[in-house]
Amino acid sequence: MIRTVLVMTNDDRVHPFKIDVPQADLDDLTERLARTRWAPELPGDDPWARGVPTAYLRELATYWLDEYDWRTQEARLDELPGFLTDIDGQPVHFLHVRSPESGALPLMLVHGWPGSIVEFLDVIGPLTDPAAHGGDPADAFHVVVPSIPGFGWSSPLSGPGWTADRVASAFVDLMARLGYERYGVQGGDYGAIIAPAMGRQAPDAVAGIHVNAATGGFMSFAPPSDDELATMTDAEKVRLARLGHYAQEQMGYVQLQSTRPQTLAHGLTDSPAGQLAWIVEKFKEWTGDPGGLPEASVDRDHLLTNVMLYWLTGTAGSSADFYYEGTHDAAGGGWGAEIERSPVPTGVAVFPQDIAIRRYAEVSNTITHWSEFDEGGHFAAMEVPDLLVEDVRTFFRTVR
């Protein structure tokens, strides 16, 4: 049974929140996994070419059933101060971890899809208390990690219209509600769309923006001209080719989530194996070692905890609906929409599997920091947390 704690509408107070999943929900998951009806394998030389192979999924689901311990992961999450508040009639769940350093800069971390607050578990400690992790106390942050409305415990959706711009507005309100007048924002995937939107809406409050796994506003969907192509570096050409492959082979989930999220929701909300496959495919394709298995880049328990946040909250449909809103937004703001240039200093970390290209990013962003890495991938906070933390520290030293 899916249970969500609601906050009273128009109540702008911040309420402490503990996860504490009922045992009945875990028993239900166990029963469903144990009686999964497995799809026959499809023929072909490459077992991943047509999607997640049954043999791999079955083995991972067996690990989920027999070895994965949610209560251990739940306790780890509940060690971090969690809260719920109501913004514009919408429950918003977030972590708020204050640094022991009095001069720390507030920093919001924003996930994307198929991520969650779980993405940031390995970076919160080094960001909030650098001295305890071999760093400089001057680099400390007070960290706020919200769940996008429709994701995790920021559910159920209060109504339609939760676009990236509206989420950005809610997150600006959240930082003000917490008493932060000046702060930074870091985001990956859809978080790399929401974070710059916050800067455009509140340029006097947002001191700086740092992104990874950036797409909209940081690259172009239009083919380059011959003259433009002639001036591109080898790395830029590789990212163009990666974008072409993505458009040809990996856009199915976008088309479905952008058009019929409710149809998708029925299958993923009923079948944990289906929910697992839908998410693990992206960890296979987008991590730093796409030729290997997902757990070559992200620990299995960490990956499964991320999946659990979708399963336990029944948010397969409402998280997918974020794509529907983005492509049906009459005011624009979709993937290919023209974006107003942001005056806020912006740092970009480009990891393998990313497609950001600086010449395009500079059209709509004030780029003051650009880093390129040889390891890591789309889920940098989970794959290479040390690299991401150091890049965040380096960038924000310039705007403190």
- As annotated, the active-site residues are 189, 323, 378
Q: Give every CB contact of residue 197 below 8 A, 6+ residues apart in sequence.
A: 164, 165, 167, 168, 333
Tell me the C-alpha to C-alpha distance, in Å, between residue 169 and each of 188, 195, 196. Answer: 18, 10, 11
Burial 364-387 (b: 16+ CB within 10 A, else e): bbbbebebebeebbbbbbbbbbeb
Residue 239 in tokens: 């990212």
- Nearest Cα neighbor of 48 from 243, 244, 325, 250 is 250
Radius of gyration of the chain from its Cα atoms, rounded to whole angstroms = 20
Q: Give every CB contact of residue 303 below 8 A, 6+ residues apart in sequence.
A: 280, 283, 294, 295, 382
Q: Is 286 exposed, middle or buried (0-12, 13-18, 19+ CB in 10 A)?
A: buried
185 neighbors 105 (Cβ within 8 angstroms): no
Residue 318 in tokens: 């409402």
